């Protein structure tokens, strides 16, 4: 990665290779907008539905859970809606 790309310039492969571990600004903004949208929706759902949404998506420091885990918490089967 530290090897020069062109012999007449000081540019290395590291300098021109994107870091896949860093989120793009567009992705970061999109996630923030989605979080805000979900938080705003909390005003129109019941407290139970609010808790389920928090569990499913890991909102407000709640550990993210699968649908099966949430079903077990509330005593619901997969078929129950």
Which residues have a Cβ under 8 Å from the Cβ of 35 and sit 6 or more positions away?
Answer: 59
Q: Supply the DSSP string of 34-46, one letter for each residue.
A: HHHHHHHHGGGS-
Residue 16, pLDDT above cutoff 90? no
Please report the pLDDT score of residue 59 as a whole number: 83
Put simply, whether the predicted model's pTM sits higher than 0.95 gets the answer no
Looking at mean pLDDT, say which of 10-14, 23-27, 39-43 comes out highest: 23-27
Q: With cut-offs at 50, 70 and 90, classify the pLDDT of residue 70.
A: very high
d(CA 51, CA 47): 6
Residue 54, pLDDT above cutoff 80? yes
């Amino acid at each position: 990665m530290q090897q020069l790309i062109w012999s007449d310039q000081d540019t290395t492969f590291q300098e021109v290779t994107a870091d896949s571990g860093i989120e793009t600004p567009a992705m970061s903004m999109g996630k923030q907008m989605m979080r805000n949208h979900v938080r705003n929706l909390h005003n129109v759902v019941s407290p139970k539905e609010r808790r389920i949404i928090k569990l499913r998506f890991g909102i407000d420091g709640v550990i993210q859970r699968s649908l099966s885990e949430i079903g077990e918490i509330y005593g619901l089967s997969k078929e129950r809606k």
